[in-house]
Amino acid sequence: MTKPTLRLSTAFEYARAAHEGQTRKGTDIPYISHVMSVSALVMEHGGDEEQAIAGLLHDVLEDCGAEHEPIIRDRFGGRVAKIVRDLTDGVPDASGRKEPWRVRKERFLARHETMDNESLLVSLCDKLHNARTIAGDLRAGHQVFARFKEANRDGVVWYYDELVRVFRLRLGKDDPLFREFQRAVADIFERA
């Protein structure tokens, strides 16, 4: 990656403001920590600045509303907006509700079978950070599966099993980032 520019800082500030007051499921950890981690993983695994920006913004539509999409497109460009859209599994309607969890996840998984490699890298970094967090919380004895309102333990296990399948299909079993993800998921399954 070339030297980061002010755009990355601007994207961080946008993500911070958009996710203001949000925390990670079932914790007091500010949500911004997750998108910072995803962006860092993107950079560490060869992503460019726009992919790192998309890592910072990847949950804005899903967690904060569709009205952010034109702003993201205007401020950060069409490529960033496309990656963010690719990683969005559902946008809340006017009353704040989304489609059922399983429907959203099945559509999200299907999209991964054909999405471009630029979006796939950001998605894998997102899922890797989530899997590492879940595995770490399970090791610490937290009741992780109670945090998922629409998915129980079986739903979470199904989803991560399917993610492993799709990422293996797209990247191959020897891809280093895929292997990291597979290890984190195995750690979840060992404790689930």
Active centre residues (catalytic): 62-63
How far apart CA 163 and CA 142 sit, in angstroms, is 23
**Vertex 71 angle, CA 59 and 101, to 5°:** 30
The token duo for 121 is 């890298």
Angle, helices 68-76 vs 6-18, to 10°: value is: 170
Neighbouring CB atoms inside 10 A of 42's CB total 27
How far apart CA 129 and CA 110 sit, in angstroms, is 21
b/e map of 93-104 (b: 16 or more CB within 10 Å)? eeeeeeeebeeb
3-class state of residue 96 by DSSP: coil
Helices (H), 5-76: 6-18, 32-44, 49-57, 60-64, 68-76
